[in-house]
Structures are given as structure tokens and as C-alpha cells.
Amino acid sequence: MVATNPMRLAMAILSLILRLIQSLPKYHRFYFPRTLNVLAFIWNEIELASVSDRLRNALRFIVTSMVDRNLTIRNRFVVNSHNPRGRINGPLANTLYVPGLSVEQNPLEALAYKSKDVISALRSKKRSAIVSNQDLSSVNIPPNSIDYIFIDPPFGHNIMYSELNGLTEAWLRVKSNSIKEALVSEAQEKDVFDYTALMKSCFRKCYEILKPGRWMTVEFHNSQNSIWTAIQEAISQAGFVVADVRTLDKKKGTINQEYYTSGSVKQDLVISAYKPNDGLEDRFKLIAGTEDGVWDFIRTHLNQLPVFVEKNEKVEIVAERQSFLLFDRMVAFHVQRGVTIPISASEFYSGLEQRFPVRDSMYFLAEQVAEYDKKRLTTSGALQLEFFVSDEASAIQWLKQQINRKPQSFQELHPQFLKELGGWHKNEMSLELSTLLEQNFLRYDGSGAVPEQIHAYLSSNWRELRNLSKDAPGLIAKAKDKWYVPDPSKAGDLEKLREKALLKEFEEYKSTKSKLKVFRLEAVRAGFKKAWQDRDYETITKVADKIAKKVLEEDPKLLMWYDQAVTRMGGE
């Protein structure tokens, strides 16, 4: 047996301890040695100085405004198209990135420069802003007291906010409470559903403090569908009604957008949402679950939407005024308030036609049409909405747009349809064009009079077919086998047949014990809706467990039904 040398053992233990220490975060390594010495001396003088707390905090603010920026080794020298000769550009934002070439700056000069801005702000008489760094869901603001909210929420897992606070917190000797930090993080064991729940609590506070009938603008920037869907779901769950979604071109992108991240989104999205006024909410409580409640909501919603939007001398279609999005908003409004939806989709579309004038596939209140028609005359036409065919729902909307514009035969539609199929979702069951047509549209087989939609198109585009009756042989021959959009008042039977087929498929998904790798998304949506109406929340959660988590996270309708089911069952 070999005796252990005590000195060698002690050295080995010391070496192990040093390696462990070196593996821990060492914030002093983010500074040049002489810069750190100067900052440490200044900070110590501030802490020991006999000054008021207000002045001490102002001095701390000056130092902490720089200790995580140009005074660290993250300070970069950047050469790009905007600065071909190069310039000091500060650290790369939102990440603890250390460049290959760091720039050391004089801390005394940097702090003196920053001091001018701080002193100017403190001396300003126009100080009406309040800055708070607390959790939004617990902010102490009276209910119904705010006129307008602009919010730029955290971006999912793009930025690890509390982790990036480390340098500043090291100087202040505090640590962020990350329990309610709204982000997706493996280190904090938070997924997209946790992020949604946290954002929901924040938006609920916004809803509480905003005055009824007033607006909230949410600027958002993320390339992931799941995070985008989570934000929309959180807004709706809080009680807001989304009225408009559009892009915001800030002209100049961030450094990541311009140079570093190829997958970054080049433009931000802006969601405009409003808090329904007390009149609607009070009325809805009395007529909830009735058709009167449906149309009261639609009238109120249409009144909130922009009437006329012009772009490049053409009318821009307000998507929220289209029938399918009005239906979705109506459903969401009922679901978020736990109210049964009293009418079917076909009954809703038929009711829209009967109650509201339509222009360029958009629905308006009677008092809004005159304004729209007047401004419409000053434009050269309407911009068509672009539909990207990626699943059954978007394929149906694309077909509806094509057939509304021009009734066509299967042979005419098929080559166009194939060109649109490049991005079909991998989990979505691929459907033949013939199936989509048969379940959602009608084909004129040559029997009886030519349908009005086909007649209007043919008589407008073929001179020889003008002024012919709908049963004229020449018109019938030209119209035969063309598909057309069914009249909303006559589409009920078609919808019932389609829903029956979807629910039959959903029953198969319920009974299977294996995971659903490829399935019909519309069948799951229809099944979730029926289960919610039947208060069968367990079915929703069980089927949700069988589909890919990413599909659930990225589909707004599925996420809405699932989130409601979990809430009703007492989950988080």
C-alpha cells in the first residue's frame, strides 16, 4: 500500500477548488483591469459620500448606465455599409457576446459625457413620466383609469432578460426575481404555455386599468409562430378584442436584423386591440348565448374597425372586416366569457349578408358605407389579400378567393392549386383538390338555371353571352362543370355534411391510443369546438396530448379551446 503524500493531496484539492471557482460567473472578467479599478474607486466613493439618497441614486444611475455597455470588453469596433471606415459601436445588444476585437474607452470621459444627459433630465421641469421595474401584473394603478396603452412585450426565448442583468446587478448587489419573468427558458423550466400564462396575467392587468372602449397597441417581433400565437391568445384571454394586425416598417432595422441573424424578422407586427365598453359587456350579460348577443357584438366590433385604408392609390382590404375573421372574433368573444355559441358558421354568414352591406368582400355598418364608397372612387382598385396555402383552412380561403373572382372548372383550378402547395404543414393531412371542392363549394352540372354568380361573371366577360336568360342553351353550355361559392343562405346543408365528416374523423382520433403524427387539423378543430360546447373538457385535453406540442402551440384555434379546457378543469 502506497502512502499518500499530504502535500500532494492538499495541492490536488486546492487545484480542484480553483477550477470550480473559475467555472463560476466572474463579472470582473468583463472589464479591462484599469477600467475596473477606476469604476471600483468611483463606486466606493459614491457609497461612502455624505450626500442625500436622491443624489447618491443619481450618481449610481450614471455609473450603472455605463457598466454594462461601452466600458466592458463587449465594446465593439464595427465596420459595415453604414460605417465603411469603422466606428465604436458598443456591445451587441441582448446577448453576452464578446467580440474578437474589443475597444477600451476612458471611463472618466464616458461617465462625464453620460453625466450631462442625466443632469439635464434631473433639472428638466417637464417630468411627467413614472418609471417602474416591477411585475406588470402587480402594478398599483387604479382600475379604468388609463386612456391608452402601448406595450412591447418580452419576445419568448429570444432574449434572456434577467440573465443579461448580471453585470448591473453585481454592482447593485441585488438579483432579479425571475419567478414571474415572462419568457421561454429551459434554465427556468418555462415552456410556451408558461409564457402564455404569464403574458395573460400581464394583459389582464392592462385590461383592468384601461378605460372601457379605449385601445391597447402591442408591438411584437418574433420569427416563431408559437410565440406569436401565444401573444394573441393571451390578449384574447385577458378580455381584449383584436381589431387590426399589420406590419410596422421602422425603416432601419436592429443590428441583428441588418447584419447578424439571417432568420430574424425584418419588420415588427402591431396588434391593435380594444377593451369593450361597459355598454356591450352589460348588454351581453343579459343576452349571452342568443343571436341578439352575436349581432350586438358584431355591430360594436365593426364600429371599432378602420373604415378605409389606402395604400399606393389602392384600397387595402381590412382583413378583420372579412366574414371568416368576423366569425372567429365572435366565437372567441363567446368562448373567453364561457358562453355557448348560439349559431353555426353558415347561419352566421347568412346573417352577415342580411344585416350588413358588403364592399370588396368587407362588411360595414350602414352608416360607414357612404364614407367608404366616397373614398373608394378616388382609388384605382382594391389590393387582393394574399393567402398562403399551408393547410386545409388556408386552401379553402384561397379557393374561395379564386372562385369568387372567377367561377372555374376543376381542370382550370388544378394547375393553379398545385403551384400553391409548396409549404403544406408536415403534420396536416394532405387533401385532394376534388375533396376540398366537394365539401365546401357547389358545381353546376348543367341542370336547371345557371347560378347567379356564374351568370354574372359570364355575362360580364363574354359579349355573346350578354342579355341571355339563365336557362339559355349557350349560357348553360359555357357554365357547365364550373364551381361556385354557395349562397350563404343555402350553404347550411353543405356545412352540416362537412361537419359530420370532420366529427367522424375526430372520433377516430379519440379512440386511437398512439400519437397523431399526420391528421386533419380541421377535424381536430371541429372536435374541440363540439367538446367545448358539450363541456367535455377531458376529451380536449386527451386528444391534445396525442398531437405534436408544436402544432398545439402554433394554432390559435386549438390553443384557445385547449387553454379554456385546462382552465375549466382547474389547471393553470
CB atoms near residue 179 (< 10 Å)? 9
The confidence score (pLDDT) of residue 66 equals: 84
Residues 268 and 147 in one domain: yes
In a domain, 495, yes or no: no
> Which residues span the domain enclosing 61?
26-123
Domain termination residue (choose one: 94, 123, 152) = 123
In a domain, 408, yes or no: no
Q: Cell digits for 305?
A: 374597425
The confidence score (pLDDT) of residue 160 equals: 81
Residues 271 and 158 in one domain: yes
Residues 84 and 183 in one domain: no
Eight-class DSSP state of 126: -
**Per-residue pLDDT reduced to its tens digit, 145-194:** 999 999 988 877 777 888 888 888 888 888 888 888 888 888 888 888 88
Residues 324 and 268 in one domain: no
In a domain, 426, yes or no: no
pLDDT-derived band of residue 367, with 50, 70 and 90 as boundaries? Answer: very high
Residues 150 and 224 in one domain: yes
Residues 141 and 269 in one domain: yes
Number of domains in the chain: 4
**Contact between residue 285 and residue 224 where contact means Cβ atoms under 8 Å apart:** no
Whether 567 has a pLDDT exceeding 60, the answer reads: yes
Residues 148 and 235 in one domain: yes
Residues 146 and 271 in one domain: yes
pTM of the predicted model over 0.85: no
Distance CA 487, CA 495 (A): 12
In a domain, 184, yes or no: yes
In a domain, 321, yes or no: yes
In a domain, 213, yes or no: yes
**Per-residue pLDDT reduced to its tens digit, 466-495:** 888 888 888 899 999 999 988 876 777 788
Residues 229 and 344 in one domain: no
Residue in 523, 356, 516 with CA at minimum distance from that of residue 439: 523
Q: Cell digits for 247?
A: 406590419
**Contact between residue 454 and residue 407 where contact means Cβ atoms under 8 Å apart:** yes
Report the CATH number at residue 170: 3.40.50.150
Residue in 554, 570, 557, 569 with CA at minimum distance from that of residue 193: 554
Mean pLDDT of 192-217: 92
pLDDT-derived band of residue 83, with 50, 70 and 90 as boundaries? Answer: low
pLDDT-derived band of residue 16, with 50, 70 and 90 as boundaries? Answer: low
Give the phi and the psi of residue 509 in degrees, each rounded to 5: -65, -35
**Per-residue pLDDT reduced to its tens digit, 397-454:** 889 989 988 999 999 999 888 887 767 788 888 888 999 999 999 999 999 899 999 9
Residues 153 and 39 in one domain: no
Whether 21 has a pLDDT exceeding 50, the answer reads: no
pLDDT-derived band of residue 264, with 50, 70 and 90 as boundaries? Answer: very low
Residues 306 and 232 in one domain: no
Residues 361 and 456 in one domain: no
Whether 537 has a pLDDT exceeding 80, the answer reads: yes
In a domain, 424, yes or no: no
**Per-residue pLDDT reduced to its tens digit, 43-52:** 888 888 888 9
Distance CA 172, CA 350 (A): 64
pLDDT averaged over every residue in the chain: 84
In a domain, 64, yes or no: yes
Domain termination residue (choose one: 385, 403, 433) = 385
